[in-house]
Structure 1
Amino acid sequence: MRDNVVNSPMSSRAAAADEPGDRFERLYAEAERGAAVVPWDRDSPHSLLAEWTDRDRPDGAGRRALVVGCGFGRDAEHLARLGFATVAFDISPTAVRTARRRHAGSPVRYETADLLDPPAAWLDGFDLVLESMNVQALPAGTRERAIPAVGRLVAPGGTLLVIAAGRRADEEVEGPPWPLTRAELDAFATGPLVPARTEEIVAPDGGLRWRAEFRRPA
C-alpha cells in the first residue's frame, strides 16, 4: 500500500448518482463488518506529512490543528503528538466511530462533519489545517466548491498544508480520484490565503505529488 491513495472525501452535498460521501461510508461500513479493506488504513502518518513535520519542526504548543477527511486518524494522531490541540473530521460516521475506538484516550477530538457545511465555530479557527488526499476524490463541480472551503478554516496567522496527487494540465484522467492540476492547487490561495511554498515531488511509483503551504497573514 502507498500514500497515493485517497482518504475519505468530505462533501455530503455532491449532486451525483454515487456521491463520494456515500461511497466511502459504504467502504468503511464494509470494513467494519470485515467484508472489505480500507487501502489507506495504516498506523503511520502520510509520508509527505511526516517529512514536513520532521523538516520544519512545527511547535503545536498552544495552537489548534484541523485534519480534513481524517479517516481512521493516522495524521490527526501525528499532529497531536506534536502538541497541537487537534480536531479531526470525516463525513463518514463509521470512520469517525472507528477512529474514536482505535484511539481511545486520545486528545484528538473526532467529529462527523461536512466540509461544505462545517460548524460555524470552525471558520477562521485553526492555526494549522491539513488537507491530505481528499479533495482529489471529489467530482469537478464539488471539487471547485471544496477547494475554497478548506481555506475558510484557517485562522489569521495560520497555515494550510495541502498534500495531493498531481497531474499535468493536459493529462486526462478517469477518476475517481482526479489528481490535481497546478491550477487547482493554486486555487487554494483564496480570500486572505497566500502561497508560501509549493513542492513538486516524484513519488516512488513515478507519479506526481504536490505538497503546498498557504499562509494567512495575521
Structure 2
Amino acid sequence: MTEPRRWQSEADRLAHADPSDPTAWFERLWASAAAGDVTTPWDRDDPHPVLASWPGLPEPGSGDGRAVVVGCGLGADAELLARLGYETTAFDVSPAAVAAARERHPGSRVTYAVGDLLDLPTDWVAAFDLVVEIHTVQAVNRSVRDQLTAGVRALVAPGGTLLAIQARTDVAADDGPPWPLTREEIDAFGRRGLSAVRVEELPGFGGGGAGMSRAEFRRG
C-alpha cells in the first residue's frame, strides 16, 4: 500500500496551483484525504481547545439562538455548540468535507451545508447570534483576506457575537499555507458595525512556538 502523502506538502502544492481560484484547493485536499492519499491532521473528535476554554460559552443546554461554524471541517466544533443548545449551522467550501462531517455525525442536530464566504446565501447574512471562525481565514491566501473577513462579519446578527480564533504573526509573510494574521488583520473583524470585546494572545497554542489569538467581537 502506498504511504499517504504528508498533508503540509500537499497543501503547499495545491494552495499555489491556481492563483485565480484561491479556495479551490480545499476540495482537492479533502477529496484526497477521503481517498486515503494524504494524512489528516485535522481529524479530531474534540472541539478546538481554544473554543472549548472560551469563557463566553454557556452551560450545556442553555445556549440560546442560532450559531454558525465557518469552515467546519469534520464538525467537532459545531457538535459542541449544538450540545450547548444552539440551533447550529456548519458550512465548508469543500463538498467532500461536508460529506465527511455528515457521515461522522449521523443523526446530528447540526445543519451541515456547502457554503462559500465569498458568495454567502442571502438568508445567512446577519442571521446568526454566534459566529465561530477557527483557522479558516488564515488558510487562504492574503489576496482575498479582506473579502473573507467581510464574509465572516456579514454572518453576525444584530446583537450577535463573533469569535475568531487564528494563528497570529508579527510580520505578514507570503509563504503559506497557513498565512497567520497580524494584529491589524485580526482587528479588521471588528468593522462594519462590530466592535472588539476582548482580544487575547495565547502563547504556545499555534504550534512550532507560534501563538494564537482568540478575539471576541459584538455587533451593536
TM-score past 0.5 threshold:
yes
Q: Any conservation in 2 of the 1:67–1:76 contact (CA below 8 Å)? A: yes
2:4 corresponds to:
none
Shift of 1:163: 0.1
Q: Any conservation in 2 of the 1:27–1:38 contact (CA below 8 Å)? A: no
Matched residues in 2 for 1:56 and 1:121: separation? 26
Identity, % of aligned positions: 50
1:94 corresponds to:
96
The aligned runs of 1:22-171 (5 Å cut-off) are 22-52=24-54, 55-58=55-58, 60-168=62-170, 170=171
Q: Any conservation in 1 of the 2:66–2:88 contact (CA below 8 Å)? A: yes
Distance 1:57 1:112, change over 3 A: closer
1:215 corresponds to:
218
Q: Any conservation in 1 of the 2:197–2:217 contact (CA below 8 Å)? A: yes
Matched residues in 1 for 2:90 and 2:172: separation? 33
Higher relative contact order (CA 8 A, sep 6+): 1
Range 145-154 or range 32-41, more displaced: 32-41
Q: Name the SS of the counterpart of 1:21 in structure 2.
A: coil
Structure 1 consecutive aligned stretches of length 4 or more whose deviation exceeds 6 Å: none
Matched residues in 2 for 1:165 and 1:57: separation? 21
* Alignment partner of 1:189 is 2:204: no
Shift of 1:125: 0.2
Q: Name the SS of the counterpart of 2:88 in structure 1.
A: strand
Matched residues in 1 for 2:191 and 2:73: separation? 26
Distance 1:61 1:208, change over 3 A: closer
The one-character-per-residue Cα deviations of 1:75-108 (angstroms, maximum 9, x if unpaired) are 1111111111000000100100111111010000
State the AA in 2 paired with 1:56: G
Q: Name the SS of the counterpart of 2:178 in structure 1.
A: coil
TM-score of the superposed pair, with normalisation by structure 2: 0.86
Q: Any conservation in 2 of the 1:164–1:210 contact (CA below 8 Å)? A: yes
State the AA in 1 paired with 2:141: P
Matched residues in 2 for 1:167 and 1:173: separation? 12
Gaps (5+ residues) in structure 2? Answer: 1-6, 9-16
- Tell me the number of residue pairs that the alignment of Structure 1 and Structure 2 aligns: 203
Range 156-165 or range 18-27, more displaced: 18-27
Matched residues in 2 for 1:36 and 1:139: separation? 21
Matched residues in 1 for 2:19 and 2:143: separation? 14
Distance 1:57 1:176, change over 3 A: closer
Range 23-32 or range 174-183, more displaced: 23-32
State the AA in 1 paired with 2:191: T
Q: Any conservation in 1 of the 2:200–2:215 contact (CA below 8 Å)? A: yes
Aligned counterpart for 2:19 among listed residues 17, 20, 23 = 17
TM-score of the superposed pair, with normalisation by structure 1: 0.87
